[in-house]
Amino acid sequence: MAQVSFRPARVFAMQLLYAMEITGQTVAQALPGVLEAQEIHDNQKKYGMRLVDLIQEHRADLDESIKAAAAHWELDRMASLDRILLRIAMVELTYIPEVPMKVAISEAVQIAAKFSTDSSSSFVNGLLTGFLQSRGIVIPGTKEK
């Protein structure tokens, strides 16, 4: 059986979290519209929902980590998709050890490049690298700040 990409799961989670943020809906309310807009495999949906659940459970801690990594940025001044992608990547980096750190960062950067602003991929990459460095982790191939 071929391995299924989890990028669609991350995009699904991003879209669901964005719909919830914009409309004020709960997961149960926003989920049908997001599922209708995107075809994903069951295991991708399951992983996407795992991301959403972990983000909801740890949102305060995730947002504090984002604030600490983004010294000169207010959380509410960031592009919504950037903030959501940072939460997704930080959940993977912090709570899902089976996802390699390089993969979590690369996925967030590539999704930001596709769905957010022109400068989002650099912004997301810089914040995630800073987040790891603040924990004493340097990924080979990245530069220390």
Predicted local confidence at residue 139, as pLDDT: 72
Q: CA-CA distance, 64 to 112, in Å (whole number)?
A: 21
- Please check the confidence at residue 144 and state whether its pLDDT lies above 80: no
Percentage of residues in the chain with pLDDT exceeding 70? 93
**96: alpha, beta or left? (left if phi > 0; alpha if psi -120 to 50):** beta
Percentage of residues in the chain with pLDDT exceeding 90? 75
Q: Where are the alpha helices (DSSP H) in the chain?
A: 7-23, 27-37, 42-69, 80-95, 101-115, 120-134
Dump pLDDT digits (tens) for 23-38. 999 999 999 999 998 8
Residue 7 burial by CB count (10 A; 0-12/13-18/19+): exposed, middle or buried?
Answer: middle
Dump pLDDT digits (tens) for 121-139. 999 999 999 999 888 887 7
Assign domain 7-134 to its CATH architecture: Orthogonal Bundle (1.10)
Predicted local confidence at residue 93, as pLDDT: 95
Predicted local confidence at residue 76, as pLDDT: 86
What backbone phi and psi angles, to 5 degrees, belong to 89? -65, -40
Predicted local confidence at residue 7, as pLDDT: 94
